Amino acid sequence: MKKEMYALVKETAAPGLTLKKIPVPKMGVGDVLIKIRKTAICGTDMHIFNWDGWSSRTIRPPMTPGHEFVGEIAAMDKYARGFDIGDIVSGEGHIVCKTCRNCMAGRRHLCKNTVGVGVNCDGAFAEYLCLPYENAVKVSKDIPEDVAACFDPLGNAVHTALKFDVAGEDVLITGAGPIGIMAAIIVRHCGCKHIVITDVNDARLELAKKAAPDCYTLNATRDTLNKAIKDLDMKEGFDVGLEMSGNQSAFADMVDYMNSGGKIALLGLHSERTVINWDHVVFNGLTIQGIYGREMFETWYKMMSMLQTGLDIAPVITHRLDARDYEQGFAAMNSGKSGKVILDWSKIGEEA
């Protein structure tokens, strides 16, 4: 086993990441050591890369970010269970305390003491990642590695899209980012009626159209949802809303265009002072459900089952790069035009 590995390190409290050699992490009790094959870049990694207000309050350099990954089990502590060396795994990036009320009740996604991989501890932008065995998830061999590297955001999309029954329903998705587009593909797989997806960025809407061809795309800077309702000959409002933009006006519009009794699953991260029409919520009996992370591990089970029965999110992946070209990957993400960006770690460190 190597003693040193390459990792993308946030060295100081400033923008950027540095590819450098650091020690291979040491396993603790019950840990598995994962040899990373591929990682995907998340919006959270962009905050860390760009060093904005949230990251300066949250991140303690030096540290290694990254939490969307696929790899293979390279070593296991003697207390790790359920895996063999060589198993292909992805993993849940929320490490939970196992002792709070929600953890004890099996609602681990609601743990009060969650530690975020690649946020509060070292993450996956490296040749090796250490993870509690309970967080590792075996990946079925028929699932492409690029797709498995996206399990974390795909899990967000699955958790949100399956929160309410969408079969036969008209679904509004606000925000055609990677997660919004994955949600469109999922609700189609689950038998919804119309899908309307909105964004303010035409490149994102084009990607949505390519990845989920029968969804109705709408640029919220040019048109209102009235146009979608008219074009689709919808008689009433939307039955289910999936808020995936984190934008105040998108959320406010969603609330206004819901049918009575409509249900909204809220994944997008909003400012504390976001304003919506509360009268509309009350008089129309709307349900608004916050969504955090992925259910451990029901979301993972459903996600894998759907991928094995025809769900295809590969069109959301727009860039595949060698990890040494990470700067191109972060630039693509910063452009606002990309879908998921994959970094391949399989060639890096071969010379060592």
Binding site for ligand NAD (CB under 6 A): 43, 156, 174-180, 198-201, 204, 220, 244-247, 249-250, 267-269, 291-293
Among 103, 215, 228, 265, interactor with Zn ion by CB under 5 A: 103
DSSP string, 211-248: HSTTSEEEETTT--HHHHHHHTT-SS-EEEEEE-S--H
Residue 107 or 320 with smaller CB distance to Zn ion: 107
Among 9, 88, 111, 265, interactor with Zn ion by CB under 5 A: 111
CA distance 71 to 90: 6
Pairing verdict, β 171-174 and 195-199: parallel
Residue 36 or 265 with smaller CB distance to ligand NAD: 265
Least distance between ligand NAD and beta carbon 37 (Å): 22
- Applying CB under 5 A, does 115 fall inside the site for Zn ion? no
CA distance 153 to 143: 16
- 244: partner contacted, choices ligand NAD, Zn ion, none (Cβ within 5-8 A by kind): ligand NAD
Residue 9 or 95 with smaller CB distance to Zn ion: 95
- 43: partner contacted, choices ligand NAD, Zn ion, none (Cβ within 5-8 A by kind): ligand NAD
What three-state secondary structure class fits 253?
A: helix
| Pair 155, 94: CB distance under 8 Å | no
Residue 80 or 217 with smaller CB distance to ligand NAD: 217
CA distance 254 to 289: 13
Residue 271 or 309 with smaller CB distance to ligand NAD: 271
CA distance 186 to 183: 5
DSSP conformation class of 7: E
> Candidates 76-84, 94-102, 212-220, 313-321 — which segment interacts with Zn ion by CB under 5 A?
94-102
CA distance 179 to 189: 15
- 96: partner contacted, choices Zn ion, ligand NAD, none (Cβ within 5-8 A by kind): Zn ion
Residue 97 or 281 with smaller CB distance to Zn ion: 97
- Applying CB under 5 A, does 110 fall inside the site for Zn ion? no
CA distance 161 to 150: 16
- Applying CB under 5 A, does 7 fall inside the site for Zn ion? no
What three-state secondary structure class fits 9?
A: strand
Those residues whose C-beta lies under 8 Å from the C-beta of residue 97, and which sit 6 or more positions away, are: 103, 111, 112, 113, 114
Among 46, 75, 100, 331, interactor with Zn ion by CB under 5 A: 100
Least distance between Zn ion and beta carbon 159 (Å): 18
| Pair 208, 217: CB distance under 8 Å | yes
Least distance between ligand NAD and beta carbon 54 (Å): 10
Least distance between ligand NAD and beta carbon 79 (Å): 29
- Applying CB under 5 A, does 95 fall inside the site for Zn ion? no
| Pair 9, 64: CB distance under 8 Å | yes
Residue 39 or 245 with smaller CB distance to ligand NAD: 245
> Nearest residue by C-beta to ligand NAD?
177
CA distance 94 to 92: 6
> Candidates 8-16, 63-71, 103-111, 180-188 — which segment interacts with Zn ion by CB under 5 A?
103-111
Least distance between ligand NAD and beta carbon 199 (Å): 4
- Applying CB under 5 A, does 97 fall inside the site for Zn ion? yes
What three-state secondary structure class fits 35?
A: strand
Q: Annotated active-site positions, please?
A: 44, 47
Least distance between ligand NAD and beta carbon 337 (Å): 9
- 176: partner contacted, choices Zn ion, ligand NAD, none (Cβ within 5-8 A by kind): ligand NAD
Tell me the β-bridge partners of 197: 173, 217
The backbone region for 154, taken as left when phi is positive above 0, alpha when psi lies in -120 to 50, beta otherwise, is: alpha
Q: Which residues bind Zn ion (CB under 5 A)?
A: 96-97, 100, 103, 111, 113
